[in-house]
Structure 1
Amino acid sequence: MADTDVSGQLNTAGMAFGDLVRLTGQAVASTQQELNKTAADTTSALSQTLVDVIAVQEVEYDDAGTVTGAQTFTQKLPLIDVVDPVLYEWKQVRLQGRFSASQFATTQSSDSYVHSNTDSHGQAGIGLIFGGGYNNFQYDSSQAHVDTRYRSESSVGLLRMNAILEPRHDIGVPRPRQAVVGPSISIDAGPITDVGGPPAESRTMEVVITYENVDGDPIPGKTLAVDSAGVAWEYVGGVDQTDGDGQLTILLTRTFVDETADRTPVDVVVSVRKGIVSESTTVTF
């Protein structure tokens, strides 16, 4: 029986794959080193180059919350504050290998057998019926046998490589500071009162809104837009404009439908707006 053996071919393939892994690792490391050097050079150049950038942007409002003007303040800053250097890195490098090797062997054997037999018989004389004559008999036989055997061994394979090179996203450009010059709104929680009961049939809270100009002086006679995130509210005393102190008071009301209603204090967001000026705060009652 013939023997097959592909171990030598597979060993050679294993060595080749090992070399491929080693060379790929060296290539990745060398490329990443060059990428880092390029990024460092780029960052250094951007850091040493100064440009005029907007450091602060100022917007002015009047007492009605309308924009009346805007101006920007520039200063010399490194270009790196404006332009992000692109820093590339190998996120992933994957190798997958399958290899092929094959071998075929065959053996053949044969044998034969030949047999021959000859028998002769002669007769002579005079007869009334057959007369005289001669007879000869011969027997031949042969046999052949052929035996063929074969054996094969094979291995197939495939090689794949995936690599991802992408920029980093952990560096950003800082936004300029925003400065607002104009009126301001403040919201303060007032007293809480349970009405009816016990248990209370409703609960109220007074909220005081103050409207002031840029110098901190009150702005009287202004109507403010109010929103209380679904909780009912009304002007206290029916006054819907700020008074001489720039204040406006509203009354928030929670109504409990029956004795089993949940009376646990809840958070309510109160938002107040005048033109483009707005403010929000959370009160609990």
Structure 2
Amino acid sequence: MSYIDQLKQTYTSLFVYDSSKGRPSGEYYLFRINNEEVVGIAAEELNEREYNLLSTFLQPVQHHEIALTQKDLQWKAFIDGKSESLRLLKTPYKIRFVLFTVSDPSLEPDTFREALQAFFPFEMPLIWLNETKGLLIEEFVDVAQEPVSLDSVVEVLMSDFYTKIDFYVSEDIEDLSHAPRHYTWAERCFSLAKKYQLGQVVSFNDVIPYVFVHSLPPEDLYALNRLMLAGVEEDRDLLRTIKVFLESGSNASLAAKLLFMHRNSLQYRVDKFVEKTGVDIKQFEQGLVVYLLLLHSNL
């Protein structure tokens, strides 16, 4: 008699999960057996004591974890620090992490997984972290393999699934032994990208300035704002103008074009900022500090 048959004698509602049949109705708990099959048991058949007992020799599984393959599970254990090594059939020479969120928690994980995987040359490890957040590990096994452009991917997926999707793309990681550390860094960067609403496809380069300003203690931020933005803190139109001016490399003509204003009007605002604050933003060091403070203001 198999292990599953033995459990069925005690829990008559037990079933073996089959992704092709979709999710069964009703409340149920899921457990993974020998890292392979996933079984479900109706919640009404398990009290808290029995659930805790089963959890000691079976692995509890959340609904978003059902579709994890053996490769997914191996990567998850590795980046979570629960395994010291990876035993892959073909080890990539480099990887990059692609974290993503979807706004619709009712999105079917298997369907989204299939749609996302279609953009890659072969199946990549994809780990759902919760109902709305996941991690795809883009593996590079051939030097001729090109990274997938997520800008085109996000447009197609949002059109197909009618849900808001955000991606964060990490730096390339060539030493896989450092992958767990890079993953922690990627999680932090993605969190900042979401906090400051940096866009639907964000890379580590986009986040780096925010890492610096976000790391400052609140008292330091207060002191810098008081010193560098004195007299203009409430003038958000002026501050937005200065932000675009600095993002344009202090090129007044380019900034004026981006802001749809005359160059002389923009120059007037820059002069007004310098006069009121005493900060010469055309000097690199002073302009850099002001720019970081404006990033934190999330204008």
Q: Which has the higher helix share?
A: 2
Q: Which has the higher contact order (CA 8 A, sep 6+)?
A: 1
TM-score (norm 1): 0.19
Q: Which has the higher strand share?
A: 1
TM-score (norm 2): 0.19
